[in-house]
Structure 1
Amino acid sequence: MAICPLCNALEKVSMTCPTCNSPLQDGGKIADYSDPYGHYNDENTVKLFDGYSNTAKDEICPHLLVCRDCSFERILFIQEQ
C-alpha cells in the first residue's frame, strides 16, 4: 500500500498563491472535509467516496492548499509513494 508523503510529513508543500504571492498552506486531505468520521475508515474505503474517480487506482491523494492572506484555494493531487 502506498502512502502520501504530505499526510505522513515526509514532504512539505512549497507553492505560492497565484493571486497574492503568499505561501500556500497544506489544509490536509479533501476527504477530511467531507466526512467528519472518515479518518476512522481505512484509506481505500475513504478513496471510494472522495469525489474523484481515480484516486485509489492511481494512488493519488487530493490535498487542499489554502492561502491564509487572500483565501485562495486549490486542490493539489499528490502522488503516493
Structure 2
Amino acid sequence: MEQCPLCNGFVEQTIQCSNCHTIMEDRGKLTDYFDDYSAYMDIDIMKLYDGEINSLENHECLHVLYCHSCQHEETKSFHEQ
C-alpha cells in the first residue's frame, strides 16, 4: 500500500509560490477540506472525488499549498511511495 510522504512526515517539501517565490505552507490533503467528516473517510474512496481523474490509479495525493506573503493558494499532487 502506497503512502503519501508528506502526510506521513517521511519528507519535507519546499515549494515556492508561483506568484512571489516565497516558501508556501503545506496545509494538508485537499480532500480533508470537503466537509467536517472527510478527513476521517477512507483515503482511496476520497480520491474518487478530489477532481483529479487518475489520482487513485497513479498513487497521487493532492495537497493544498498556501503563501502567507501574497495569499496565493494552489493544489499540487505528490506521488505516493
What is the TM-score normalised by the length of structure 1?
Answer: 0.89
Partner of 1:45, secondary structure, is: helix
CA shift, 1:44, in A, is 1.0
Per the alignment, residue 75 of structure 1 pairs with 75
Deviations 1:39-60 (Å, cap 9, x if unpaired)?
2211111111222211111110
The 8 Å contact of residues 23 and 67 in structure 1, kept in 2 or not, is answered as yes
Partner of 1:44, secondary structure, is: helix
1:25 aligns with 2:25: yes
CA shift, 1:13, in A, is 1.8
Equivalent residues, number = 81
CA shift, 1:18, in A, is 2.6
- Measure, in 1, the Cα distance between the counterparts of 2:46 and 2:11: 22
Structure 1 residue ranges without an equivalent (≥5): none
Q: Percent identity?
A: 37
Moved over 6 A (4+): none
Deviations 1:55-80 (Å, cap 9, x if unpaired)?
11111001111101111122111000
Query: 2:28 corresponds to which letter in structure 1?
Result: G
Query: 2:54 corresponds to which letter in structure 1?
Result: N
CA shift, 1:7, in A, is 0.4
